[in-house]
Amino acid sequence: MNNNKASVNEDVPTEQLIRFFNGYFALDKKECEEVVRLFSQRNIRRKGFLLQEGDFCRHYFFIVSGCFKMFAVDPSGKEHNLQFAAENDWISDLHSFYAHEPSRMHIEAVEPSVILQIQHDDLLYLFVNYHKFDRNFRIITERKYINFQNRILQNISSTAEERYISFTSEYPELVNRIPNTQIASYLGITPEFLSKIRKKIVT
């Protein structure tokens, strides 16, 4: 038993983040104090942006409550959803975050949300001084990479119906929270075709 492990108040956003980390490599008291010190809270209104194309992504975001979409806009102005993230998940444009280059992405709130964010240099500080954070974020990043890899494979080899079923399996809590137009964009189909798929599955 780790006697240094801090007690957790479930009503405090940073404690929700600490519980998340404890699901991998549990944090001791000092590490918990660093989470409280380095992560800052923001409340985001519906359709508010964490990031817009051309901006530099300066933070890594943990979602306490609410839901976000990350999308790109093609030359014709059409949006293409790349990722959804809700409670106890992370979202960021990692290329812009680590390479310090302007982002090609937008990150927008689908519903009113509360997030915790950490700056690039503060995250590197945690990696260098507290190796548990390095290991925890390695797991987070690896799981994101696996999800994107699976999605690419599905786009190559799966039908639209199979992609929708996979979506409902991956994001069961979001199926009724995200508009059909947004889900259709993620799947690469029209909202009308998504409605046909849903009716077919129900019947």
101 and 189 in a single domain? The answer is no
Q: What is the pLDDT of residues 80-116, one digit of tens each?
A: 999 999 999 999 999 999 999 999 999 999 999 999 9
Determine the pLDDT at residue 200.
86
Amino acid (one-letter) located at 156: I
In this structure, are 112 and 153 located in the same domain?
yes
Query: How many domains does the chain fold into?
Result: 2
> Based on the domain organization, do 130 and 172 belong to the same domain?
no
Shared domain for 115 and 170, answered yes or no, is no
Sign (positive or negative) of CA dihedral 118, 119, 120, 125? negative
Supply the CATH number for residue 30's domain. Answer: 2.60.120.10
First to last CA, the chain: 52
pLDDT of residue 66: 97
Give the DSSP letter of residue 56: B
Same domain, 195 and 101: no
Q: How far is 21 from 38, CA to CA, in rounded Å?
A: 15
Whether residues 203 and 164 share a domain: the answer is yes
Phi-psi bin for 100: left (phi > 0), alpha (psi -120 to 50), beta?
A: left
114-168: per-residue pLDDT in tens?
Answer: 999 999 999 999 999 999 999 999 999 999 999 889 888 988 999 999 999 999 9
Same domain, 72 and 133: yes
Query: Kind and range of the H or E element at 124?
Result: helix 120-129
161 membership: H or E segment, kind and range: helix 160-170
Residues 179 and 143 in one domain: no
In a domain, 145, yes or no: yes
Which residue range is the domain that position 166 belongs to?
A: 158-203
Q: Are 95 and 149 part of one and the same domain?
A: yes
Q: Are residues 76 and 171 in the same domain?
A: no
> Would residue 196 count as lying in a domain?
yes
Residue type for position 110: V
